[in-house]
């Protein structure tokens, strides 16, 4: 399993959140000649830090409108996750299903004992058993590599920063005449939030989860086939670019949106063809 100093990354995310909030509070304080905005932003920072840590899994689950399923509800899915968890000698996460038709999956939570794996109905309908097992192996290795806290907190941080920017849009002005300084801050905050997620969630972790997941299942070609079908399925039925979905999209096994232009520039996912090629190389040359 791989390690990516995720404790340091999480601390850096919280530090970045605090810095942005306090800077915005300071800018508003200069305009109003009051220290109150800084104090308000400090309280927001404390609240969002605590909320992001304890509820990071709920934020992503809620954005996908997912619901938890028991072994009775989804026996085959539970069996596959249980078998892979036992093979890894690790705790079994909770299992959720999102009703969306877009094929995707993700893992979230603050540690392996408080983790969740979510599959969309689209991916359950699209993949065969072997391919689904490959995807589940990938997601479980995100859990067991302990990078899901950083991923989940990144989603919360991006959402808070964007929300604060929208709130400041009308701070000190009216709806018909917004504060010019706040307008500029808001225009910069959305791409900054996306950049923050991209910097915090290295594309390397996707390659590592692919590699470790393939080792866990013993079948790299199954995951390669699944990624190829998922990419095609997303192209046919992408998710809408709602802000809550954008903030959680880096958790998913594949970019859930139509890519291109600036969206591709800020993508946290490595090129799908490169991932597939690496998995095919792991499998070695085809047998004759």
139 is catalytic: yes
Nearest to 147 by CA among 105, 120, 107: 107
Choose, from 139, 206, 231, 274, the residue flagged as catalytic: 139
Q: What is the number of residues in the chain?
A: 288
Strand partners, 116: 94, 108
Burial readout 199-216 (b: 16 or more C-beta within 10 A, e: otherwise): ebbbbebbbbbbbbbbeb
Question: What's the burial of 180, exposed, middle or buried (CB within 10 Å: 0-12/13-18/19+)?
Answer: exposed
Place of tokens 């038709």: 101
Cα–Cα distance for residue pair 272/15, rounded to 1 Å: 32
Residues recognised as catalytic: 139
């Amino acid at each position: 399993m791989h390690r990516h100093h995720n404790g340091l990354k999480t601390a850096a995310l919280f530090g970045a959140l605090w810095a942005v909030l306090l800077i915005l509070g300071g800018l508003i304080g200069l305009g109003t000649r009051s220290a109150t905005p800084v104090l308000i932003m400090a309280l927001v920072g404390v609240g969002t830090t605590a909320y992001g840590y304890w509820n990071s899994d709920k934020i992503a689950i809620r954005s996908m409108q997912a619901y938890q399923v028991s072994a009775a509800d989804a026996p085959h899915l539970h069996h596959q996750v249980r078998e892979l968890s036992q093979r890894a000698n690790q705790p079994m996460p909770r299992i959720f299903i999102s009703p969306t038709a877009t094929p995707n999956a993700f893992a979230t939570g603050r540690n392996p004992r408080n983790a969740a794996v979510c599959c969309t109905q689209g991916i359950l309908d699209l993949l065969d058993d072997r391919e689904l097992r490959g995807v589940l192996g990938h997601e479980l290795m995100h859990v067991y590599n302990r990078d899901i806290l950083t991923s989940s907190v990144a989603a919360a941080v991006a959402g808070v920063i964007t929300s604060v920017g929208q709130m400041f849009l009308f701070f000190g002005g009216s709806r018909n005449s917004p504060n010019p300084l706040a307008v500029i801050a808001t225009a910069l905050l959305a791409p900054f939030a996306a950049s923050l997620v991209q910097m915090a969630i290295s594309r390397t972790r996707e390659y590592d989860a692919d590699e470790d997941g393939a080792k866990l299942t013993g079948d790299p070609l199954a995951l390669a086939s699944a990624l190829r079908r998922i990419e095609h399925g997303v192209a046919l039925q992408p998710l809408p670019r709602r802000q809550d979905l954008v903030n959680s999209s880096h958790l998913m096994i594949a970019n859930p949106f139509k890519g291109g232009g600036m969206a591709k520039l800020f993508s946290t996912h490595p090129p799908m063809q490169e991932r597939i090629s690496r998995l095919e190389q792991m499998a070695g040359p085809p047998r004759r």
